[in-house]
Amino acid sequence: MFRRTIVATGLAGVTVMATAAPGAAAERPSLRQLVDRLTAADGAPGALAAAEGARRRTVVTSGLGDVGAGTPVPADGHWRIGSITKPFVATVVLQLAGEDAVALDAPVERYLPGVRGVAGVTVRQLLQHTSGLPDYLAYLTPQRVIEHPLDHHEREDLLAIATAHPRLFPPGKGWSYSNTNYLLASMLIEKTTGRPYGEEIERRVLRPLNLSGTSVPGDAPDLPEPHARGYVRPGPGAPLDLTRLNPSVAAGGGNMVSTADDLNRFLAALVRGRLLKRPQMRAMMTTVPTGRASGDEYGLGLQRTPLPCGGHYWGHDGDMIGFTTVAGATTDGRRATVMANLNPGGTEAQDDDLNAALTTALCEAH
């Protein structure tokens, strides 16, 4: 959702809990070392990793969930999951496709008549980021949100920011990550069902999986208890607490709140076919290259990323003001989530260390 601004930092981390020994192979850094690195070399106040496999569950936390109070990161805490919202939204759209309420290769205009700027774009292209629509967050910067964190943002206004700029490429002729796509997907859900997209996510995904720690908060600026606090470091100096935030700036693409256990349960259920019919599951897992050095490919709301121990995982990353997260699951039942409560303001290595912690957790859970 919001990409991190790179600022050199030097906040020391403190290890506070590990419920299981990682047991990493000698050639691979252990999960404990990587989580501690996020709060030491990378400068995040706190970090958490939670992994589950067939026979064990591992939770590692490091550093502080609340700098002012000096309290640790809560292992069962809530936080803003940023773009990991997208797999939830994509799942609902694909469920509607499985009910013949939406056709993936139909034009978006069929479901959103009168919406400007979407001519020639299909529903599938929204979900796969092949629409060519510019990302409104390329023009609404994190600094603007940091300065006005409680402002309400109408989706139509955010869409107007994007469509005021030219297409990046003709629909279907390239790949470029754009939050505008999922803003439109949330509007499509509402137009198709006649209900708020958050209610549809709750009815179709959260309740069936008993994800009681997950929500679509609307304009609510506060996180449920317990929670880590979210920090930003827009320049040199101590991190600033920006936990209270109106998440409407990320509607449809990055506004949800969840916990590590809920994210692991959701992704495990999703990739093992519990939420979608087979044709829609195949559609979600049909990928296109992103061109990133990681070698990942993008399906419909899910990324497919190689694992260093062999195979691959399905998941997503998520950046929101105050928090950054990566989460993934394999089709054989392994799942893991890693979070740091600093964004923007991490070091250049923070992304790499988050992803290394995730892949290590998934490989160690094998």
**Which active-site residues does the annotation give?**
83
Q: With contact defined as beta carbons under 8 Å apart, do 137 and 179 qualify? A: yes
- H or E, element range at 241: strand 240-241
Which phi and psi (to 5°) does residue 132 adopt?
80, 0
CA distance linking residue 89 with residue 34, whole number of Å: 31
Q: 2 and 310 in contact (C-beta within 8 Å)?
A: no
Q: What angle do CA 202, 319, 267 make, to 5 degrees?
A: 45
Residues 6+ apart with CB under 8 A from 113: none
DSSP, residue by residue, 311-340? SEEEEEEEEETTEEEEEEE-TTS-EEEEEE
Query: How wide is the angle at C-alpha 328 spanned by C-alphas 326 and 329, nearest 5°?
Result: 165
Q: Of 64, 77, 171, 196, which is closest to residue 119 (Cα–Cα)? A: 171
HSE-up of residue 72 (Cα within 13 Å, Cβ side): 13
Alpha-carbon span 268 to 143, nearest angstrom: 35
Residue 110 backbone phi and psi in degrees, to 5: -60, -35
For residue 51, the number of C-alpha atoms closer than 13 Å in the C-beta half-sphere is 28
Residue 289 tokens, joined: 């290259």
Please state, in angstroms and rounded to a whole number, the distance separating the CA atoms of residues 44 and 256: 21
